[in-house]
Amino acid sequence: MKNLGILLSGRGSNLEAIARNIEAGRIPGRIAVVISNREDAPGLALARDLGLEVRYLPSKGKQREAYDREVVDVLRQCRVDVVCLAGFMRVLSPYFVRAFPGRILNIHPALLPSFPGLEAQRQAWEYGVKFTGCTVHLVDEGVDTGPIICQAVVPVFDEDTVETLSERILKEEHRIYSEAIRLLLEDRVHIQGRRVLRKDAPALSLGRPGEGEREAGSGFDPHSP
């Protein structure tokens, strides 16, 4: 069974969805450790309540790569295969990305490449788009620039606020993040240039660190019995 490392800075709603889907047998892996750079992150308390291994690694005042080396050391100690960024409010250094090549996932609350960076929901709402959504992508050395594994589309209604739109997007995040993790753990994604294609036969080995599917909302339902 492959090991997941979850990195978060906030409330941990995606962590909760991932843990629920693991328990239900929809994700063939286990959460080996949850790491946060914020001691007061609600997601850390949630992880403790779920009985998970948690680590608080403060980042304030630390140089980016020096901090990332601390995090990578913990991930390696916990024998993590795939790293999942779940509201981790830091840009990873090249050192971190190269430590887990093709094995870091991020969830972004917009349809990349539109509206990268912070407050993507507000960016989309203020721009006036009629549709937005969320994206799960592999992390590279840029900001929200990695190959896309899954996307889900969400309508923007005239009466929406940033808050109501964000909640609608979050529901889709919970669904497609678990789908993307499952595909990666099952070796069912194959990268061709920037394109991430689904395939039935294994193409990418999930070996230890150091050695993305076209999707616009799949039939995978994390809430189904």
- Hey, what are 57's tokens? 């690694």
Residue 121, pLDDT > 80, answer yes
Q: In the predicted model, what is the mean pLDDT of residues 179-193? A: 94
Helices (H) and strands (E) in the chain, counts: 6, 9
Alpha-carbon span 120 to 124, nearest angstrom: 6
pTM, whole model, 2 decimals? 0.87
Sheet with 131-138: strands ordered across: 54-56, 29-36, 2-8, 82-85, 104-108, 131-138, 148-155
How far does Cα 77 stand from its chain's mean position?
Answer: 21
Asked whether 153 and 215 are in contact (CB, 8 A), the reply is: no
Residue 218, pLDDT > 70, answer no
pLDDT on residue 174? 97
Selected residue with higher pLDDT from 218 and 122: 122
User: Per-residue confidence at 139, pLDDT binned at 50, 70, 90?
Assistant: very high
pLDDT on residue 224? 38
Q: What is the mean pLDDT of the chain?
A: 90
**Domains in the chain: ranges and CATH:** 2-198 (3.40.50.170)
Residue 144, pLDDT > 60, answer yes
- Hey, what are 68's tokens? 């990332």
- Hey, what are 147's tokens? 């190959």
Least confident of 6-10, 63-67, 205-209: 205-209
Residue 208, pLDDT > 90, answer no
Alpha-carbon span 225 to 24, nearest angstrom: 9
Alpha-carbon span 57 to 78, nearest angstrom: 15
- Sequence-ordered list of residues with C-beta below 8 angstroms from that of 113, at least 6 positions apart, any chain: 144, 145
Asked whether 105 and 180 are in contact (CB, 8 A), the reply is: yes
Beta bridge partners, 110, equal none
pLDDT on residue 199? 78
| Tokens 């937005």 found at | 132
Q: Which amino acid is at 29?
A: G
Residue 220, pLDDT > 80, answer no
Q: In the predicted model, what is the mean pLDDT of residues 50-73? A: 97
Residue 58's alpha-carbon distances to 20, 64, 112, 199, in angstroms, are: 27, 12, 30, 40
Does residue 108 carry a catalytic annotation? Answer: yes
Alpha-carbon span 163 to 147, nearest angstrom: 28
pLDDT on residue 214? 34
Q: What percent of the chain has pLDDT over 90?
A: 85
pLDDT digits 0-9 by tens, 192-204: 988 999 876 444 4
Q: Which amino acid is at 98?
A: R
Question: One of 108, 137, 174, 223 is an active-site residue; which one?
Answer: 108
